[in-house]
Amino acid sequence: MIVILKKGITLQEKNKVVSFLQDKGFMVKEIVGTEDTVLGAVGTSSVDYRMVEIMPGVSSVVPISKPYKLASRELKKEDTIVSVKNVKIGGNRVCVMAGPCAVESYDQIMTIAESVRESGAVILRGGAFKPRTSPYSFQGLGEEGLKLLRKAGDAFDMPITTEVVSPSDVEMMTGYIDMFQIGARNMQNFELLKAVGRTKMPVLLKRGLSATIEEWLMAAEYLMASGTDQVVLCERGIRTYERATRNTLDCSAIPIVQKLSHLPVIGDPSHATGKRDMVQPMSLALVAGGASGIIVEVHNKPECAFSDGPQSLYPVQFEKLMRDIEALCPVVGKSLEKAPRIIPDSIHSDSAEHHEILDPTKIVVAFQGERGAFSELAVRRSFDEEAKVLPCHSFAETFDAVSSGKASYAVLPVENTLGGTIYDNLDLLAMHPELTVVGEQQVRVVHNLICVPGARLEDIKKVYSHPQALAQCKEFLASLPEIEQIPYYDTAGSVEFAKKQNDKSIAGIAGAPAAKFHKMEILAQGIETNPSNYTRFYIISREENASYIRSQAKSNKAALSFSVSDEPGALMKILSILGDNGMNMTKLESRPIPGKPWEYTFFVEVQLNEEIEFEKVCEEIKKAAVSFRVLGTYASVL
């Protein structure tokens, strides 16, 4: 049952409810949500719900209809975010786990770990115990394999996951790994599930070869009932009549499970297809279907692999897959999970960088607008959930918050695919030499008609939103000529205004996060005329905080500003320096210099790569320019 507690319940009252349920034989779990705090009570016992409902501090009692109680969305409305050391799985992120099917040697696992980490994987996988169909196939290196996997994980700052096949190995394995993996053949090995659940460690639970979704969730229930609430479900293909692929990848299971359960779901395209050339398209299909990540097999020499070579990607193929996932993430409203890169001195000491990693709970990120704005969505895709947000009334106030130390970072729009450059933020960046660009984020702008719960489309008489949002929804609004369009200073602010009016005839146009934050209802989704509507954001900070973001990905872009003398060919001379050094210019803008009529500062974005000596190029530009500044070097935080 679900016991919904009153907001004003005292600790003493709550403890009495818990004790009562425990005395009746229930296992009780407290869940603090964004709206309510509930007690989940599960077990084989029965009790008259009314006896609980009349207890002081109890608002209501709701029975759980599903056989999987703890894993059910009925018990917990919010998505569970599973933490594997510094990596998070679930929510709006896409987590990529990669590594060989089996750990074969020290050189092999170290080489592959370095490769997948450089490409963007955040968890290292590798088999030490291999359950094989044939008793004559390679069964893994056992505990020696765990030692090698642990060394590789520590060397490249990656949590590790590997499969456990025997309950007797569970205790030993806890000393080596960060996440257990339950394979498809062991999904219903209930004694193994109980032993792993008792460790309270994160678990990756693969779907059985012929398991139904309910059987899969019941296996997760075994883990949760035994002690762990950190369970990640993995769709790895099911056995059907089809023999063209190793298994049949059931992408449709992902949205179904997400409706039934709060647990994150990822996919395994390697085992699902069994063919290297199918891993890339199926990985993208999983992400498009809403998966919270993928687990992929990668081998530096798959033709020599001890197991599953035909389905293992070459490192160069994995690198391309990561870039494709990066490009897809903004389209499906997710961000690619990244972890700070820290390499100990013992590994590549000549290029190691040591940065102080900030405590996510102490990070404050500023943005312009009201809560639920698209800018806040960009913040949430770039930072951990523990980061605090600081809404600001204007762009200038947002810059000042970072400059003064009130906020560690700010996320600010710089360009929209339909509206063009946001010049105010380029000008403010030029006015704040103490601030630097450390990253960028892209967000697809999806507009929704949002109103108070219970309103119907025919009730709406007035719609409020930012003028740009009204213009971007022109066709939808034109189909409703009786509705008056009223400009408002902010999209999310229009939803807040509609809520305060509590009038069914008033609606706002904004993103889904604004509706969720203000507990309003989306009456019409995706009402923008052009679906190719993206906004690009800069992440800015003071230089002392830059390493936290820059450590997550190698900088591949730079923003520059410069001015030139008033003479023929002055601008061309700077542009020639960029071209002669092989730097691809992706943006060029001119902005008036305050107090100097008809004089301009030029703003440029360029692409970086390892073959370009960026500092050398900067020195050349300084000599040819009147003024020059590097506004920041950065990568996309997708």
Task: Please provide the DSSP assignment of 103-162 as one string.
Answer: ---HHHHHHHHHHHHHHT--EEE-BSS---SSTTS----THHHHHHHHHHHHHTT--EEE
Looking at the predicted structure, is the pLDDT value of residue 103 above 80?
A: yes
Looking at the predicted structure, is the pLDDT value of residue 574 above 70?
A: yes
Residue 247: what pLDDT? 93
Residue 361: what pLDDT? 63
**Is pLDDT larger for residue 305 or for residue 352?**
305
Q: Give me the mean pLDDT over the 16-37 stretch.
A: 85
Q: Cα–Cα distance between 577 and 581 in angstroms, integer?
A: 6
Q: Kindly report which listed range (228-237, 266-275, 549-558, 596-605) carries the lowest average pLDDT score.
A: 549-558
Residue 38: what pLDDT? 87
**Is pLDDT larger for residue 347 or for residue 203?**
203
| Nearest alpha-carbon partner for 318 in 366, 351, 385, 269 | 269
> 243 to each of 273, 274, 594, how far by Cα in Å?
10, 11, 70
Contacts of 418 (CB under 8 A, 6+ apart): 472, 530, 532, 533
Helix (H) or strand (E) holding 410: strand 409-416
Q: Which domains does the chain have, with CATH numbers?
A: 2-62 (3.30.70.1140), 82-336 (3.20.20.70), 448-524 (3.40.190.10), 553-638 (3.30.70.260)
Looking at the predicted structure, is the pLDDT value of residue 457 above 90?
A: yes
Q: Kindly report which listed range (206-215, 326-335, 481-490) carries the lowest average pLDDT score.
A: 326-335
Q: Three-class SS string for 460-512? A: CCEEEECHHHHHHCHHHHHCCCCCEEEECCCHHHHHHHHHHHCCCCEEEEECH
Looking at the predicted structure, is the pLDDT value of residue 357 above 70?
A: no
378, 414 contact by CB (below 8 A): no
Contacts of 568 (CB under 8 A, 6+ apart): none
Q: Kindly report which listed range (103-117, 158-172, 591-605) carries the lowest average pLDDT score.
A: 591-605
Q: Give me the mean pLDDT over the 205-213 stretch.
A: 96
Residue 60: what pLDDT? 87
Looking at the predicted structure, is the pLDDT value of residue 42 above 90?
A: no
582, 611 contact by CB (below 8 A): yes
| Nearest alpha-carbon partner for 472 in 487, 452, 461 | 487
Question: Is 138 tagged catalytic?
Answer: no
Residue 425: what pLDDT? 94
Count of alpha carbons within 13 Å of 541, Cβ hemisphere only? Answer: 20
Residue 136: what pLDDT? 63
What mean pLDDT, rounded, does the chain reach? Answer: 90
Residue 637: what pLDDT? 66
Q: Give me the mean pLDDT over the 568-572 stretch.
A: 92
Q: Cα–Cα distance between 278 and 599 in angstroms, integer?
A: 55
Residue 523: what pLDDT? 94
Q: How confident is the model at residue 26 (pLDDT cuts 50, 70, 90)?
A: confident
Looking at the predicted structure, is the pLDDT value of residue 355 above 60?
A: no
Helix (H) or strand (E) holding 27: strand 27-32
Which residue matches tokens 């009016």?
501
Q: How confident is the model at residue 531 (pLDDT cuts 50, 70, 90)?
A: confident
Residue 188: what pLDDT? 95
Residue 381: what pLDDT? 85
Within 10 angstroms of residue 303's Cβ, the number of other Cβ atoms is 9
Residue 359: what pLDDT? 60
What percent of the chain shows pLDDT beyond 90? 69
Residue 280: what pLDDT? 96
514, 373 contact by CB (below 8 A): yes
Is 300 exposed, middle or buried, given 0-12, 13-18 or 19+ CB atoms closer than 10 A?
middle
Q: Give me the mean pLDDT over the 477-501 stretch.
A: 94
Residue 348: what pLDDT? 34
Looking at the predicted structure, is the pLDDT value of residue 581 above 80?
A: yes
Q: How confident is the model at residue 327 (pLDDT cuts 50, 70, 90)?
A: confident
Task: Of 50-59, 252-261, 376-385, 548-557, give the range with the top mean pLDDT.
Answer: 252-261
Q: How confident is the model at residue 638 (pLDDT cuts 50, 70, 90)?
A: low
- Marked catalytic residue, from 517, 537, 562, 603: 537
Question: Is 537 tagged catalytic?
Answer: yes
Q: How confident is the model at residue 351 (pLDDT cuts 50, 70, 90)?
A: very low
- Marked catalytic residue, from 161, 436, 491, 535: 535
Q: Cα–Cα distance between 528 and 473 in angstroms, integer?
A: 4
Structure confidence by residue, pLDDT tens digits, 393-429: 999 999 999 999 999 999 999 999 888 899 999 999 9
Looking at the predicted structure, is the pLDDT value of residue 436 above 90?
A: yes
Looking at the predicted structure, is the pLDDT value of residue 271 above 90?
A: yes
Looking at the predicted structure, is the pLDDT value of residue 201 above 50?
A: yes
245, 278 contact by CB (below 8 A): yes
Which residue matches tokens 């897959």?
321
Q: Cα–Cα distance between 638 and 635 in angstroms, integer?
A: 9
Looking at the predicted structure, is the pLDDT value of residue 354 above 60?
A: no
Structure confidence by residue, pLDDT tens digits, 272-281: 999 999 999 9
> What is the reported pTM?
0.70
130, 102 contact by CB (below 8 A): yes
